[in-house]
Amino acid sequence: MKKAKPTTKKAVAKPKASSKNAVAHAAIMRFRRFLVNALKRHVKAQGWTSTQAAKAFRLTGPRYEAFRQKGADAFDVDRLLAMTIRAGCSYHLKSGKTLTFVLTVPSKATE
């Protein structure tokens, strides 16, 4: 009886769909945190009260408090981007080898 040759297989590392999703989710979370931090710095620079900030972002008081306390977990990217625009910020995307998001925050408003 012949002995069977042991077969060897090389493992090829292929990214699994779940790891791609995890990378995408992490990138979205970083972007959300970036927007939240920019908005919080903007509120502080403007010297706004919670009521003024809520009005500028077109949020109710409780919704603004959720934003302040939970930050990136409170809103999705669409809502955060809309809030930056409502607060007078502008943005544009630069594409090349990487996609770059540039956010311009206005200086203290003059009234």
Domains of the chain, earliest start first:
19-104 (1.10.260.40)
pTM summary value: 0.71
- Rg of the Cα atoms in the chain: 23
- One-letter amino acid for residue 73 of the chain: D
Q: Which residue has the tokens 């203290």?
A: 108
89: helix, coil or strand?
A: coil
* Average pLDDT along the chain, 111 residues, taken 10 residues at a time: 53 59 86 90 92 94 92 89 87 77 71 44
Q: 5 Cβ partners below 8 Å, 6+ apart?
A: none
103 forms beta bridges with 91
